[in-house]
Structure 1
Amino acid sequence: MTQNKVIAAVVGVGALALLVWGLSHMQADRTAGTTQTAAPAVAEAPSGPSAVPTFDVVRVSPDGTAVIAGRAMPGAAVTISDGDRELGTVTADKRGEWVLTPTQALTPGSRTLSLKMKTAEGTEVAADETVTLVVPDAKRDIAGRKQNETGGALAVVTPRQGGSRVLQSPVKTDKSLAVAIDTIDYNRAGAVTVGGDAPAKAEVQLYLDNTLVGHATADLQGRWSITPERLVDPGRYTLRVDQVGADGKVAARAEVTFERQPIADSDSRAVVVVAGNNLWTLARHLYGEGIQYTTIFDANQDQIRDPNLIYPGQIFILPTTAGPAGGGPAGAGGHH
């Protein structure tokens, strides 16, 4: 925060609906080969060519049928792999968008999806992100608990730098929330990255137990990510995000309780999912990074807090009167 914009007044002492249509139509389109479809333009979805291939959509229905989509360079051959097995290769269209509908249903279990492209010039480029995908067994949820119906799949994209992003949640999320926390990534050392949603270009502030630990501006898709400088020791914490309006007031507020309680290293499974109250904790081995933990929160009304309340440690942002001030809050994904 810049000195000409912020007064630190401490109070008190103390995924994307890009291709949902594909799930309802893909059964009729199954052929002996991989189906390739042009992605429709959706205003709120990421669009345009990408010099590095990316995942934008991973959707798996209860019967295992899937739609996987993303971006690459126009005309590039894009190959999607499930571990060491290729799911298929498709060609990015003139907008750099690609879509894969695998011809076989995905079997239950956990897997890592990777991505690479070969440009028209013959250059191969690997994605700098992977997707951890968990497909539940019949009449169970992703944590293996029995239930009357097959639960929803979980798809989480994790980049080499920055926080994870949920492409498919096991439960329906409330898209009406003005601001929400949906992921917390952390490792054994206690380095934490918190991510969530807010209106596009909205300014957000993150508090850990009423202490300001970072701020960011949501990107054009409404995604924000904050990596506090401090390490977080094991324990139970309250995380709060405030969306601050142009007038300097809190416009919307969300809060979750977070417990940093790592799963034992002795577990030999590559991916472990543990269910909690309105959350899931995902543990997996990332190459070169050791065990990575991600807590995924159900974005629902339980997160909402009164924006008019004044909290101990709350920081007030003064509205600017002479236009945008230089050196304002860093963009989403920055370290603060």
Structure 2
Amino acid sequence: MPGAAVTVLEDDLPLGTVKADARGEWVMILEDPLAPGTAQFALTATLADREPVASADVVVLNLPANGDDPNRFQPSEREGVVAVLSPRHGDGPSRVLQKPGGAVPADLAGDLSVETVDFGTDRLPLISGRAPAGASVAVYLDNRFLAATRAGDDGVWRVSADTSLDQGAHQIRVDQLVDEGVVALRIEQPFSVAAPPADAAGVQVHEGDKLWAVVRPAQSGADGLRYTLVFRANSDQITDPEVIYPGQLFPAATAEAPSRAG
């Protein structure tokens, strides 16, 4: 609200407070650089004598340290800032605000990509990605059909699973469909889930540097940790759209998917 005192919190510790202007806008410039590593940022706003209001979302920021000065870095295709916007209570998907390497070039992948996988201690995954606005996509986890959906006007699609992720290697497959269920484009993105020892995040990189793992404590009394896997561009995971695979699901198909190979 206009005139509110806005406090920025880093891992629940206040970084500073500024006042929102007459339009409700504010900006804070820090005198000292942020330390390398992963931190969670949140907001509270206080107006007059009212109780403080907490932001509905948090931002998890991963800042690498490169070079001789640990407080300075040079962004690159492999290293750079990873910023993820997540619901404070973990009751929805995360959204990637920034990652190294940028988006998938349209001429390589038609804007089709897997961006994030979110899960908590229940290990029920919530998967999100991008496709052309309004495009129809079918999403599979470990070759098991999860759901068919459409990308929104913002080009974002989301699906959830009702089966927990087991420890070990997994693979997400996304088919972009055109008329009559023809697969126009397919991507396959591997990842791995590890047993969560006390001193580890419980997720592992699969196939080199294809993802980042962002871990944060659950909020509002929820137990355990929230995990967000942030994938790089998937252009190198594109498979041949001319091939029909066993178990491929077409929109008009029943629960018993066609079994054809070509």
Q: TM-score under structure 1 normalisation?
A: 0.60
Instruction: Report the CA distance between 1:315 and its aligned residue.
Output: 1.5
State the percentage of identical aligned residues: 34
- What corresponds to 2:85 in structure 1? 157
Q: How does 1:323-334 map to 2 (within 5 A)?
A: none
1:236 maps to 2:169: yes
Secondary structure (helix, strand or coil) at the match of 2:236 reads: helix
The alignment's C-alpha RMSD in Å is 3.4
Question: Would the aligned equivalents of 2:167 and 2:193 in 1 still touch at CA under 8 Å?
Answer: yes
**CA offsets 1:95-114 (integer angstroms, 9 cap, x no match):** x6655443432222321100
Q: Which runs of 5+ in 1 are unaligned?
A: 1-72, 143-147, 319-336
Q: How does 1:235-274 map to 2 (within 5 A)?
A: 235-267=168-200
Aligned residue identity for 1:86 = L
Instruction: Report the CA distance between 1:294 and its aligned residue.
Output: 2.1
Q: Which runs of 5+ in 2 are unaligned?
A: 71-75, 253-262
CA distance, structure 2, for counterparts of residue 291 and residue 243 of structure 1: 32
Q: Which has the higher relative contact order, 1 or 2, with Cα contacts under 8 A spaced 6 or more apart?
A: 1
- What corresponds to 1:86 in structure 2? 15
CA distance, structure 2, for counterparts of residue 123 and residue 246 of structure 1: 54
Cα gap change, 1:230 to 1:286, in 2 (>3 Å): same
- What corresponds to 2:259 in structure 1? none
CA distance, structure 2, for counterparts of residue 97 and residue 250 of structure 1: 45
Secondary structure (helix, strand or coil) at the match of 2:239 reads: coil
Instruction: Report the CA distance between 1:199 and its aligned residue.
Output: 1.6
1:226 maps to 2:159: yes
Secondary structure (helix, strand or coil) at the match of 1:116 reads: strand
- What corresponds to 1:282 in structure 2? 214
Instruction: Report the CA distance between 1:186 and its aligned residue.
Output: 2.3
Instruction: Report the CA distance between 1:92 and its aligned residue.
Output: 6.6
Question: Would the aligned equivalents of 1:273 and 1:280 in 2 still touch at CA under 8 Å?
Answer: no
**CA offsets 1:196-233 (integer angstroms, 9 cap, x no match):** 11122322221112221123322222122211112222
1:296 maps to 2:230: yes
- What corresponds to 2:96 in structure 1? 166
How many residue pairs match? The answer is: 237
Q: How does 1:102-181 map to 2 (within 5 A)?
A: 102-118=30-46, 124-139=52-67, 151-159=79-87, 160-176=90-106, 177=109, 178-181=111-114
- What corresponds to 1:195 in structure 2? 128
2:149 paired residue among 208, 212, 216 = 216
Cα gap change, 1:132 to 1:102, in 2 (>3 Å): same
CA distance, structure 2, for counterparts of residue 111 and residue 298 of structure 1: 20
CA distance, structure 1, for counterparts of residue 116 and residue 168 of structure 2: 17
Aligned residue identity for 1:294 = T
- What corresponds to 1:49 in structure 2? none
CA distance, structure 2, for counterparts of residue 262 and residue 283 of structure 1: 14
CA distance, structure 2, for counterparts of residue 130 and residue 304 of structure 1: 32
CA distance, structure 2, for counterparts of residue 200 and residue 102 of structure 1: 37
2:251 paired residue among 317, 323, 334 = 317
CA distance, structure 2, for counterparts of residue 233 and residue 272 of structure 1: 12
- What corresponds to 1:32 in structure 2? none
- What corresponds to 1:62 in structure 2? none
**CA offsets 1:2-43 (integer angstroms, 9 cap, x no match):** xxxxxxxxxxxxxxxxxxxxxxxxxxxxxxxxxxxxxxxxxx
CA distance, structure 2, for counterparts of residue 273 and residue 261 of structure 1: 5
Question: Would the aligned equivalents of 2:85 and 2:96 in 1 still touch at CA under 8 Å?
Answer: yes
- What corresponds to 1:31 in structure 2? none
Question: Would the aligned equivalents of 2:195 and 2:202 in 1 still touch at CA under 8 Å?
Answer: no
Instruction: Report the CA distance between 1:273 and its aligned residue.
Output: 8.5
Question: Would the aligned equivalents of 2:3 and 2:19 in 1 still touch at CA under 8 Å?
Answer: no
Instruction: Report the CA distance between 1:194 and its aligned residue.
Output: 1.0
1:205 maps to 2:138: yes
